[in-house]
Amino acid sequence: MAPSRPSTTEDDSSSLTEALGPDGLRSLVAEAIEEDLGDGDLTSSTAVPLGAKVTARLVAKASGTLAGLELFREAFLVCDGSATIELLATDGDAVEPGQEVARVTGDARAILVAERTALNFLQQLSGVATLTAAYVQRAGGRARILDTRKTTPLLRLLQKYAVICGGGENHRFGLFDEAMIKDNHTDLAGVGLEELTRSVRGQLGEGIRITSEARDAEEAQGAVRGGADVVLLDNMSPKEMAALVPGLRALAAGRGRPIELEASGCVGLEGVEAVSRTGVDRISVGALTHSAPALDLSLLVEVQA
């Protein structure tokens, strides 16, 4: 049986707790802590006095967009159930250098154990959200920014959630929730994209969304005629897409099924504005999840008197 789609789409992305469930969130964080901790923290257990209390401040060292604060908080609670965590911002918020984002008070050894896992989650996801926000800003509302399946294995739900926090949208979650006919499928099927799209439509029915990847104008027109919901214009220049878009919309106008046009393939941050002006509805960007640099955040520990 195919897995069901997690609730991290643009329609339901209010929290990771909702997506994973409270037990799922804690289990994920606890497993991450265990990976780091192993048999024990050799340094803190010998260098830090037993029972010492600290307050730690989470401070932004760069401008960016936050994502993953629930994971950050849960890491400290897993290690010290009596810790006090005050979140001074929420996922999706923009932060500036020097801005205090959270405060954690609790057992010193436990906070040091949780620190790296908490920051790893938060910095990586905030990096995804920050890069997404940059793409969204440059697209200027002319086209929507979507992620892809180019995610870190087992972290897809988290990374796609971070894309939403940055103002982007989720493409299909996996192989099971939307058909996407790519060049390899077309080549292996041994038929043209129009015929293949029509065949897939006939087998899956009207209720399943189909994206067909087109390498040239002929394939794009064939995808429209074959009944694709989305025609993905792959690795085309802005000039090529701008010339193609009006004709594709005209071709789709009489078929009784809405069409979306998507640009994909090597769309860098510097080029997304030009692509967004071609008339496409959406731009999918693998870099949002596979190449986003971590947002620079620091946890500053202060010893309590």
E runs forming strands in 157-265: 179-181, 210-214, 230-234, 260-264
User: Considering 26, 103, 142, 150, which one is annotated as catalytic?
Assistant: 150
Give the Cα separation of 13 and 6 in Å (integer).
10
- Quick check: is 93 catalytic? no
Q: Which two tokens stand for residue 30?
A: 């606890």
- Quick check: is 213 catalytic? yes
User: Considering 61, 182, 255, 257, which one is annotated as catalytic?
Assistant: 182
- Quick check: is 239 catalytic? no
User: Considering 169, 234, 262, 281, which one is annotated as catalytic?
Assistant: 234
Give the Cα separation of 175 and 9 in Å (integer).
16
- Quick check: is 234 catalytic? yes
One-character DSSP codes across 91-108: TT-EE-TT-EEEEEEEEH
Burial label for 4, CB within 10 Å (0-12, 13-18, 19+), is: exposed
User: Considering 26, 116, 215, 249, which one is annotated as catalytic?
Assistant: 116
Nearest residue to 19 via CA among 213, 164, 148, 138: 164
Q: In a 3-state reduction of DSSP, which class is residue 300?
A: strand
- DSSP class of residue 294? P
CA dihedral 301, 75, 133, 215 (to 10 degrees): 140
Give the Cα separation of 150 and 130 in Å (integer).
17
User: Considering 91, 147, 169, 213, which one is annotated as catalytic?
Assistant: 213
- Quick check: is 160 catalytic? no
Residues forming the active site: 116, 150, 182, 213, 234
